[in-house]
Amino acid sequence: MANQGSGGSRLPLALPPASQGCSSEGGGSSAGGSGNPPPPRNLQGLLQMAITAGSEEPDPPPEPMSEERRQWLQEAMSAACRGQREEVEQMKNCLQVLSQPTPPSAGEAELATDQQEREGALELLADLCENMDNAADFCQLSGMHLLVGRYLEAGPAGLRWRAAQLIGTCSQNVAAIQEQVLGLGALRKLLRLLDRDPCDSVRVKALFAISCLVREQEAGLLQFLRLDGFSVLMRAMQQQVQKLKVKSAFLLQNLLVGHPEHKDLLLQPHGGQHGSVKPSGVWPLCGNPRPLASLPAMRPSPKGEQGLVGARPGRASPSLLSPLEGH
């Protein structure tokens, strides 16, 4: 009796197979009988089920635009066009300020005021020309001719570095503007500023503009080579200004990685470009640069920028090219 009681209360050790539970005719309510797909057994199956379910949903029909939304859209487009026209007018006003001749017999206070107005106009233009459409309009208004012809070599350093900054801002990633700037001879002046200007800010901004004209720009790179550009970069890497040193080294690295065929130009001993030869110690610009192999090596800094760390000894000396002047 005890054994029978214990055996009668004992639960089954396992559930019956699914086929047994669905063997009767009433099993049509199960997942398989209702025509639904079987549940997924793994992540791949779950993904497939989601893709299938998503593809079966029909696209919602387009809703007609309400009159309120249509009016809002028209006002937004009108405001955008009006804003563009206003910015063009601002650029025209700035160019009018920059086109004025310097007062010939002005006093010191008047000259200072005049310079501040010109610097403010250049700064406003730099902000406006962050927009590529404004940069194109600026060039159509002959603004680039004014910058290159008058302000890159202006007397006050504040005008020179702002002009170089504006040239770089307009030129970056816009091939048509790059070609116009190169055709105006700006690269020669920018390299001269980088190599010789006594103001560090001018040299840094000139380097920025040079980078915008030669990176990913075949015509700019060829002109850069003809104008002794690698030599100027190497001398800039030897300066005491850290920002100038790092940015020059970064540009040099970028050009050589993108154009490895020019590495021999910098490493060949005493040879000039295109097979020309210069006597040892004769350099037309600002002194003989140290050999490229002896310059500090570039390694990533903790901040993610390219830094100058350590030195890489070597014996090869770079060849320098023709002077910036006299062409």
Give me the residue spans of the domains in the chain. Answer: 81-265
Q: Residue 24 has what pLDDT? A: 42
Q: Residue 122 has what pLDDT? A: 96
**CATH architecture, domain defined by 81-265:** Alpha Horseshoe (1.25)
Residue 106: helix, strand or coil by DSSP?
coil
Print pLDDT tens along the chain (327 aa). 444 444 444 444 444 444 444 444 444 444 444 455 666 666 666 667 777 766 555 666 777 878 887 777 777 776 666 667 888 999 999 999 999 988 777 788 888 999 999 999 999 999 999 999 999 999 999 999 999 999 998 889 999 999 999 999 999 989 999 999 999 999 999 999 999 999 999 999 999 999 999 998 999 999 999 998 999 998 999 888 999 999 998 999 889 888 888 777 776 554 344 333 233 332 333 344 444 444 444 444 444 443 333 333 333 333 333 333 333
Q: Residue 56 has what pLDDT? A: 56
Per-residue CA distances from 75 to 67, 69, 84, 133 (Å): 12, 10, 14, 21
Q: Residue 256 has what pLDDT? A: 87
Counting DSSP H helices and E strands in the chain, the numbers are 15, 2
Sign of CA dihedral 251, 257, 262, 265: positive
What are the structure tokens assigned to 260, written together? Answer: 């490895």
pTM score, two decimals?
0.63
d(CA 55, CA 52): 5
**DSSP codes of every residue in 115-133:** HHHHHHHHHHHHHHTTSHH
Residue 149 gets which letter from DSSP?
I
Type of residue numbered 203: R
Structural Rg of the chain based on CA atoms? 35
Q: Residue 48 has what pLDDT? A: 74
Contact by Cβ (8 Å): 168, 209: yes
Q: Residue 140 has what pLDDT? A: 94
Q: Residue 63 has what pLDDT? A: 74
| Tokens 């002794």 found at | 228
d(CA 296, CA 319): 18
